[in-house]
Each structure stands twice: as C-alpha cells, then as structure tokens.
Structure 1
Amino acid sequence: MPHDGMQGSGGMTRRRFLGFLAACAAVAAAPRSVAGNGAATLRLSGPPVAETLPLLRLVRTGALEAQGLTAAFTPWNSPDQLRALAAGGQIDAAVLSLAAAAVLSNRGLPVTLLALTAPPLWIVSSDPDLESLEQLEGQTVCLPFGPGEMPELLLRALSARTGVSYSLQHSGGGLETVLRLLLGKVRHVFLSEPAASLAVARSRESGGVLLEKRIDIRNAWAAAFPECPLLAHGVLAMLGPMSRAQEAREVLGAAYAAECGWVAAHPREAAALAGECYPALAAQTVEGLVPGTDIRLVMGEAGRDASRAFLRILLEQSPEAVGGRLPGPAFWGAAG
C-alpha cells in the first residue's frame, strides 16, 4: 500500500499542514452533509490498493442506506493529497497507513480506527539470487514517495534492528518506481500490492530483465521484531467529527469487514468495479485481477496490541513519524 508518514518530497510541509488544521477547525465542527433522501453522507477515500475495493463496493451497492447512511468516494494518489483532504475536512473515513493516522490524531484531528490490515509489501528485484534482507547490504533500494513516508520508515527500522545498511532512493509513486525498475535504472524497489505484481507481469511481457518478488517485508519484519511479528500497518479510520459518531463507526466498520469478504470471494468482479470507479487502481490489474484482494484483516485485541507495538517501534526510531507520541485511547476505540 502507498502508505505515508508526515513529511513528503514536496507539497504540503508540516508547517502548512498544521496551518490547514487550524484554518479548518470551523469546517471540522460543521454538521455532516445530508443527501436528498435524508441520509447522512459518509465521504470515503482510499489509495490505489486492494484495501480500497471494499469502499468502492459500499458506494456502488448503497450498502449503508439501510442504516440511514449514504456513501461517496474520492481517491487519493499521494500522501500530500491525503493530508490535504483530511486537513480540509473533505473526507470522513479513509484507508491509510497506521503511522499517518497516528500523526493526524496527534496533530489535533479526531481519528478512530475501524479496521486494521496487514497488506503485503515486497522488495521486487532483477537480482535472481536475492533471498534475504542481508543481501541488500551496501545496495540501493528505490522507494515510492518521499522521505518520511511509510516505505522509508519500515526499511530504516529494519536497518536499525538488523544492522543491514542500504541506500534509499525516492520516487513520485508506485507506478514511477515500477517504470524505473523496468528501464533498468534501479535493481531493487520497495512496492506494495498491486504494484509489485504489476512490475513482475510487465517484465515478462517486455521480454527484458525478469523481475520477481524476492523479499516479503512482512516476513523480514517478523524475523527482526519477534516481539512484534504482526505488521499491521494499514487501517481504515474515521476522521474528523464523524469519528465521534459511535453508531456510524460501527456501521461502517462492520460493512467494510463484510465487503472485504466479498472482494476476496469475487476478485474478477472487484477488478471490474475498479475499472468503473478508480482508473489508477484498475491500471494495476494483472490478468484481469487486482493482486492483494485476499485482504488480511487483523481483528480484536491482537490487532490493537500489534498496532500499538508497531507504533512504539516507529516512535523509538523516528518520533516525528507518529507525531511525537502514541495516540490516546480514543484512537483505538473501534478497531477490531
């Protein structure tokens, strides 16, 4: 997943972001918009990853209407765009990284987790002999997005724990990273799904250098951090004043979990839904499927414990990555 921290490669800086929050305080306190049928409208958002598909399904089917809610969807394609949407009070719930949700919470935006996920993350490489993180010693890994975003945070935490030293190079996003790899400008890249599978498929189509998913970051993390083996780094979170609406949180959380099951059971229909609703996600389909549709929900106390442990590790490595402290209890109020 193109997850994020708080400092991108350009665009919205921390200072501008804090200014956004202050300027939009009145917006955040405003009543929720109401559709013509009298139902409150939840404004949903997500990046071009499989975990967004359940939100598209909710909007398309009107699954929330029986609970007095309607849903609308706005995609986000970069961390800066996500921050602008959140700070501007333009979205009520979003798929994003756990670290980004923590930063938003610690910067004064009400945030409550509805679901935790453990999306797949890969080192995709043209090196046929690459099998472990240790073999990246002294090499360069290209990352989607800029300094301070989730890919860098994860690899720096792994480097600090394992002692493996590698150089990190940044790009503008997952598809740009794939292109650099296909053109032979880099040998190793960090990618989430579906970009990782797309890179592998494109290399086979081109007849050039063969790429493979070589290192499963989730496995590397479990080996490096046995005290926190479950890498629950993705979330669906309610943002802004709606995060205080317990009934809406419960309805959306339950509906999202149900639609995750539908996506896993109907991968081709889910890919067709992406084609209709989210071109940037549909562009990453492989053989008519969106890789990663077997969404791994991390539920209950195990999920809360894993997420707290993960944030503590990031806090120790880079306090600014989570906003300087762990979020308060309300942050985890509905997760699991």
Structure 2
Amino acid sequence: MLLPAASFSPCAHLCAFIFVAGPYSQALGQEVWYTGIEARGQAEVIGERGNLPLPWVLEFLRHRLALGDAGQLILLKVLDPLADECYGDLYFELHEQKQEVYVVTHVDQQAWPDGRGAIQLGFDPAIRARYTTNEAFKLAYGVAVSDYEKVRRAIDDLLDHKKREQGIALDQPIAACQLRLWMNELAQDAEYKALVDREKILKQVMDGFVALHPLAVGDVVAVPRLVPHALQHGVRVVEFQTPVYERKILSFGQKVLTQKHWDTAAALNLVDMDSALLVPPTVLCHSDALQVQRIVNFEDFEVRRIRLCGEYTLEFDHYCLLMVLEGEVGIHSLAGCTRLANGDVTLIVADVFPHQIESSSGLLLQAIPRVA
C-alpha cells in the first residue's frame, strides 16, 4: 500500500489508511482501515496542512453525503490475516445486520503453494445430506463445537497461565511464534500431550461440517446476513461492509479476546442454511476500453469493479468510495483533478460535477450507497 500524497479538494477527499491489529486473533494479524471509526482507531482524510480525523470531515459533509442518523460511510478496509495455518484463520461468525463483500487481492504462496486460498462459507452440503433435517444437522454440529470448545478453553487457560508468569495481560495479543513455542512446550509435557492431540482431532471434526471454498486473486465473495463465514490464513482481501459492529461467533481455533463466550447456540437459531453463495458478478458494460461489473448488490450498497483504458463517467448519488487496485487513475471535475495510485482510496461527493475518470490501464472498485 502506498500512502497517497495529494491535497484535500472539494470533490475528491483522499483517505489516509491506518494499520490496526485484528480483533480476531490471539496472534497478531492486521487490518488496514480507510473509513473505520471505533475504539481501536479512526481513519483520517488527507488535507493540505495535514490529516483530518474522518469524523470531522463527515460532520462537515453530513448533508452533502446524505449520511442520515448513522453518520457513517460504507466501511472500507483491508483484511490481512497471518499466513499461519494455526493462527491466521478468522472467526467463524455470522452477522444479523452487517453485510460484506470481499475482493481477493493477494494469496500467500508459502501458505497456499498453488495460489488458491480459501474461505469457510456456510455448511458442507454433502455433510448436510447425511441428516434428515436441518435441525438434526445443527444439533450434531453444535455437539461438535461444544466438544471442541471445552478442550479449547482448557488449552487457553494453560496459555493464560504462561502469560501471567511473564507479566502479560490476558487480553493482550501474542506473536504467533511465541504461541507456537508455548504449544510445543505443552505438547512435550506428558501431562498435557493428550489434551493438545485431542484439540487437533476435535477441530477437524468440527470443521468437517463447514464448506470450504477455494479463493484466487480477483475472486469475489459476497457474504449475506446470517451466513457463517471465516476468511482463512494468508488470504488478503479488500472488504466493503455495512458500518455496524456486531457478530455472533460460532467457533474459533484460538482464544477469543473480544468476548468471554462463543455464541454458537444463538447463531444456530438464526443461521441461514440455504442462501445462494458465490454469486457471479453482473456485467454492466464490456468493451475493449471499459469493463464494468456489479460484484455485489446489497439493499444498502453496491460495489462495482471497473477496468479502464480511456475515460469513464462515474454514476452515483450523494457519494461514492473509489479504490485503485492497479495502475493510476485521474479524477476530473469542475473543482480540479486528483491523481490516484495503486492502493489509494478517495471519497467523492456527488454535488461537484462531472465525475470523469481516466486511466491508461486501471483497475478500481467503486462502492455506492443506497440512501432511502
């Protein structure tokens, strides 16, 4: 990622990214925020005399952006989990309100030598077919999670004891190399070896209920509400999501640092077992100079992927977020011109016309809210 170096203009407001430790891991994964605002940190907007906190800019532009009572933009960030099979996978979770879409931008070659990573998404239809009803399947999965959670918590208690011995706060993330060292110590201890071995077996049983979908660079995953999912280690994605912060955790292969319990039973009462998954993008325009795809079409926002060799006029109401994935892109309006490079993100306000973009070879994502 390159830090944009452009001025704060009235039409295109460049977002300065910040790095935030991922909340999902005992080990140290990271997120890259462009529009995030919460206790762990807040994004900024680049100005001529320094960066401005994003909440200040949103308050100033509230009516022009039609943000409503929520007062937040579509949430845009990069998820960059560790490329570690034991400590890089994210929570297996679902959301009641939040909808999100992932665009894969990198797959770690050491973690995935064939270049195809993965995401856990929903449940394995072949395993579901062994059960006469959804309720019977959910009951069996719930038992598998419960069995694993008991062993998981026993191991986490042992790891917490090691934290206390070294004066480390129990809610503080630990580097994966340190966790691996501690787990090796437990595995070599005759008292705990059986526990460590049982954890591996029960995790395989639990994960066997879950569908694992392969992912390559450029793939898109739209995650509707109530569909459980977990991005796997070493798969970096750009994520657009509804700006709400809620989740129900069905299971996790590490200690959960953000809450003291899993939400398996509540989540299984809500889970959508039959949502269509991995829906292909909709082609809106296709020519040698321009390809536009709608890669997700949620009721509160949509995201388009644009490959451009020439000029194109953006279409949207109120505002849009634009992120460059490849090449350089120029944004032109009556207010002036802003240049974007690979990794840059800009907030464009709709009431400064026109919104002409140009590139000799650019790939970008455009997120457009739907405002009631």
Query: Considering the TM-score relative to the shorter chain, is it more than 0.5?
Result: no
The TM-score bracket by the shorter chain reads: under 0.3
Q: Flag the structure with higher strand content.
A: 2
Structure of greater Rg: 2
TM-score w.r.t. length of structure 1: 0.28
